[in-house]
Amino acid sequence: MTIYHKHHIIPKHAGGTDDPSNIIQLTIEEHAEAHRQLYLKYGRWQDNLAWLGLSKNIGNDEIIKIKQIEGGKYISKKYPERASAGGKALWSKPGMREHLIQKRKEQSATGNNPMQGKKQKRVCCLFCKKETAFNTLRSNHKNCK
């Protein structure tokens, strides 16, 4: 039995609608390939994520992480007032600014870097097969083909 997915010809993240003229039925493999082609043509992270997920190259946990990272970047670019609201609230608390500045000075003076000893997740680019840090995959390997 063949399983079909509904695919938006113009993806919703690119302004597409749920209008029946914008939806086609594709097999899972065809759906993955459609998003791969869209990613190669337009370079949108949402299409890359859909392609990687549909082709089973990444799991649900990684999909969620990428959505949070990339979605946060999208929100901060498109709606800077929303992205900075949390930071503004933190820094506006009485004494918090001084506390955070002092904490950073102490960490710098003692060499107590909170990221010290932590490892970045390493992944392999699907195109060039080079291993790279997960957070640099998109920028370093965007044009691999």
Domain spans of the chain, in order of start: 1-83, 118-145
Which 3-state string (H, E, C) describes 41-110?
HHCCHHHHHHHHHHCCCCCHHHHHHHHHHHHHHHHHHHCHHHHCHHHHHHHHCCCHHHHHHHHHHHHHHH
Which pLDDT score is estimated for 105?
79
Which pLDDT score is estimated for 119?
64
pTM higher than 0.85, yes or no?
A: no
How many Å separate Cα 142 from the centre of its chain?
13
pLDDT tens-place values along the chain, 145 residues long = 889 999 999 998 888 999 999 999 999 999 999 999 999 998 888 898 899 999 988 888 888 888 877 766 655 555 555 555 556 666 667 887 788 788 877 777 776 666 666 666 666 666 666 766 655 555 555 555 5
